[in-house]
Structure 1
Amino acid sequence: MMSTIYRHFSTARPALIKYATNAAVKSTTASSEASALGALQYALSLEEPSHSWTKSQLKEIYHTPLLELTHAAQLQHRKWHDPSKVQLCTLMNIKSGGCSEDCKYCAQSSRNDTGLKAEKMVKVDEVIKEAEEAKRNGSTRFCLGAAWRDMKGRKSAMKRIQEMVTKVNDMGLETCVTLGMVDQDQAKQLKEAGLTAYNHNIDTSREHYSKVITTRTYDDRLQTIKNVQESGIKACTGGILGLGESEDDHIGFVHTLSNMSPHPESLPINRLVAIKGTPMAEELADPKSKKLQFDEILRTIATARIVMPKAIIRLAAGRYTMKETEQFVCFMAGCNSIFTGKKMLTTMCNGWDEDKAMLAKWGLQPMEAFKYDRS
């Protein structure tokens, strides 16, 4: 599909984006076409997403002059999505603290001295109450997060989560859960309950990953995503920017995601909120440490939009640290979803009223649950 505005831009700037309306590139000639066109031109010429991006192609796209990169990402967004729609998601922490993992950034790790106490899982009625409030405020996807390494030996917890998912679905809301690693059988149980999406982030590039987490491998994460997708559940997977990584790591992060088949249904982009008591906060307090720049966030979002055109790209944790103008530019670069409501898992979240006023100013409307056409 191609919007009227997309066609207008194609006419208005032929020197830059004449390639954006090219016919589909057949798989037998994809490599030679990509070489002849250049990575950005090739990406915009495709009529179906590619799952075979090289790091050199992504590096070329990522380092495109920022104004042109953002413009190209907006064109790609309008080609594949309704530019007037935004997905509103609300997140609830259903089991806080006490996680055995050693993620350097996380307030919920039992290894990090953040003062966060481990709590029992909430009751189903509490979830329904929060979901009803989210729906009244316009959210169409309700997400449940539990601080666990995995679901091994949690049969009673699984049954309760299945009940939560089914009852939230019955309210007309899409559901997403993040429970740590799941095997194929556990993923099937969640699918049977009606789960829409499962969140399991890769966090960063494969190369940088071991500097952030040692208790779970990168391949462990990829296996969970595979288990989820093979069960018929949509994969929600993204990462965190600001973990002391380089721009090559941003490229590596997008490389992993863009070579998944299928691509993630949704891709959350988190901006690190450095929490006192976490090793990451201590590392970033060093004046010599690598600090994330806003243009790096923008380049990562735009590159992801260009090479994963069907994905929903979501501004997640840390959005409250962004000015409205920064959020606006992220949407120009291809974002089309936000978390909104009371709180993220352990950090602040922009409120419903604030977000509704902002989105109305921009002319954006909520996506309908279960009805948004991502084809």
Structure 2
Amino acid sequence: MGYSLAELEELYQLPLWELLSEANRIQQQYRRCPQIQLCYLINVRQGGCPEDCAYCAQSAHYPSGRKASALMKPAELLACAQQAKEKGVHRLCLGAAWRGLKEDDPKLAEICQLVETLRPLELEVCTTLGLLAKGAAQKLRESGVGFYNHNLNTGPRFYPRIASTHSFQDRVRTLEVAQEAGLALCSGGIIGMGESWRDRLELLATLSSLPGAPESIPWNLLVPIPGTPLEELRAPVPLWDVVRILAVTRIAFPKARVRLSAGRRELSQEAQALCFLAGADSIFFGEKLLTVPNQPEKDDRNLLQELGLWDATDRFGSRLFASPEPASSAVAQTRFSRKK
């Protein structure tokens, strides 16, 4: 049984040190030697999306300067993916800007061809392709896709302020369709769109109500894009709010990858280290995400080496969480004694 909204709220409002201590205990329990998973995001088709998501530079509704492009060719994708693998990337995420895919959509066959091109690299393949019909999900699975990303972005009450061309329930249904086809889920949110901390917890409560927990949960910090409705929304979210939602996510989804995603450039190295301690164990690696710059690769290497999360051979191990098993406090034994 997953966590209810009331239980998530109780966790969120714990004293910060108690919350972080429990998140760290859960991290050690489920990932005795955790690794920082490196993901690499490739924009295989950008711009011209008919959806009106208020944060998105790729929406055709806004003058962001991103024009629609043709779908990437297989040879170009393979070369890009090979470079990513040589840098130590574990998972590729292929993104395309459009409403979604149905079984009879010609774009589906092209996407499946791209995925099949990647088979020799033996990398995990995730796709983020919008709203998904059942037949399309099955074909993606057969082509070699193992994971499907479709972020809920925020909770159901706040969602109408973010998009009007589809509903929150449309997004939830896509997650259900992906699961029914045997795809592991990747779904998270965006922090800093004007939502409250309860809206973020409503997102987690929705994920917790799914038949199976997501394999990974990315949290993005809003990057305001000129031309989009949220371009002027530049009030930074307090670091403590970011750390709290990461820690709650780790506790509520102990086996999931918790990904520190877009907007990481705005965090200092010390802030990122605190996020890892709170439960984040995955990042997007590379100089660019779909449309915005990412943390420089050199800076990521330096930080992870400093924290003991990247060794000289570019293989990942962790001394950050590999301390002896802590004694559980009386509070932890009573408040957190849940069977997942």
Q: State the TM-score, normalized to the length of structure 2.
A: 0.89
- The structure 2 residue matched to 1:155, chosen from 105, 118, 136, is 105
1:191: how far off?
Answer: 0.5
Summarize deviations over 1:106-150 as a string: whole Å, max 9, x none.
000011111111111111111101100000000010111000111
Aligned to 1:294: 239
Residue 204 of structure 2 corresponds to: 254
Q: Which amino acid aligns with 2:189?
A: G
1:364 CA displacement: 1.5
The answer to whether the 8 Å contact 1:94/1:122 transfers is yes
**1:156 to partner: Cα distance:** 3.2
Question: What residue is the counterpart of 1:21 in the other structure?
Answer: none
Q: 2:115–2:143: 8 Å Cα contact kept in structure 1?
A: yes
* Equivalent residue for 2:227, pick from 264, 270, 277: 277
Structure 1: segments with no counterpart, 5+ residues: 1-49, 369-374
1:84–1:363 Cα contact (<8 Å) kept: no
**C-alpha separation between the residues in 1 aligned to 2:169 and 2:100?**
14
2:193 partner SS: coil
Q: Is 1:174 matched up with 2:119?
A: no
- Is the 2:102–2:136 contact (alpha carbons within 8 Å) kept by the matching residues of 1? no
After superposition, the Cα gap between the structure-2 partners of 1:197 and 1:292, relative to the gap in structure 1 and judged at 3 Å, is same
Question: Retained in 1: the 8 A contact 2:8–2:205?
Answer: yes
8 A contact 2:34–2:281 mirrored in 1: no
Q: Which of 151, 154, 162 does residue 212 from structure 1 map onto?
A: 162
CA shift at 1:292, angstroms? 1.9
Superposition deviation, residue 258 in structure 1: 2.0
Distance across 2 between alignment mates of 1:215 and 1:180:
12
Distance 1:291 1:322 in 2: 11
Tell me how large the CA RMSD over aligned residues is: 1.7
In the comparison of the two structures, how many residue pairs are matched?
A: 314
Q: In the aligned structure 1, how far is the partner of 2:37 from the partner of 2:160?
A: 32
Partner residue of 2:252?
307
Q: Closer, same or farther in 2 for the Cα pair 1:367/1:229, shift >3 Å?
A: farther
The structure 1 residue matched to 2:59, chosen from 109, 125, 131, is 109
CA distance in 1 between counterparts of 2:88 and 2:215 reads 21
Match of 2:174 in 1: 224
Is the counterpart of residue 129 in structure 1 residue 67 in structure 2? Answer: no
* DSSP-derived class of the 2:127 partner: strand
C-alpha displacement of 1:294: 1.4
- Alignment partners' CA distance in 1, 2:161 and 2:4: 24
Give yes or no for the alignment of 1:190 onto 2:140. Answer: yes
One-letter amino acid matched to 2:242? I
Partners of 1:90 and 1:352 lie apart in 2 by 11
Give structure 2 stretches of 5+ with no counterpart: 318-339
Q: Which amino acid aligns with 2:192?
A: G
Contact 1:91 1:144 in 2 (8 A): yes
1:73 to 23, 44, 49: 23
**What are the superposed Cα offsets for residues 248-289 of structure 1, whole Å, 9 maximum, x if unpaired?**
11221221122222110001110000111110123x26xxxx
Secondary structure of residue in 2 paired with 1:329: helix
1:155 shift after superposition = 3.4
Matching residue within 279, 283, 292 for 1:338: 283
Whole-Å separation in 2 of the counterparts to 1:136 and 1:353: 15
Aligned residue number for residue 93 of structure 1: 43
Does the CA contact (< 8 Å) of 1:137 and 1:352 recur in 2? Answer: no
Calculate percent identity across the aligned residue pairs: 38
**1:26-72 CA distance string (max 9 Å, x none):** xxxxxxxxxxxxxxxxxxxxxxxx32x22111111001111111111
Distance in structure 2 (CA, Å) of the matches to 1:247 and 1:153: 38
Cα drift, residue 153 of structure 1: 7.6
Q: Distance in 2 between matches of 1:362 and 1:255?
A: 32
- Asked whether the 8 Å contact 1:238–1:268 carries over to 2, the reply is yes
Residues 283-314 of structure 1: CA distance to partner in whole angstroms, max 9, x if unpaired? x26xxxx7522111111110010011010000
2:162 and 2:170 map into 1 onto residues whose CA distance is 15
Compute the displacement of 1:169 (Å): 3.0
2:263 paired with 1:318? yes
| TM-score, normalising length: structure 1 | 0.80
**1:235 corresponds to:** 185
Amino acid at match of 1:195: V
Q: Distance in 2 between matches of 1:127 and 1:353?
A: 23
The answer to whether the aligner puts 1:140 opposite 2:85 as a matched pair is no
Distance 1:86 1:359 in 2: 9
Q: 8 Å contact 2:103–2:133 — kept in the other structure?
A: no
Asked if 2 retains the 8 angstrom alpha-carbon contact of 1:244 and 1:292, the reply is: no
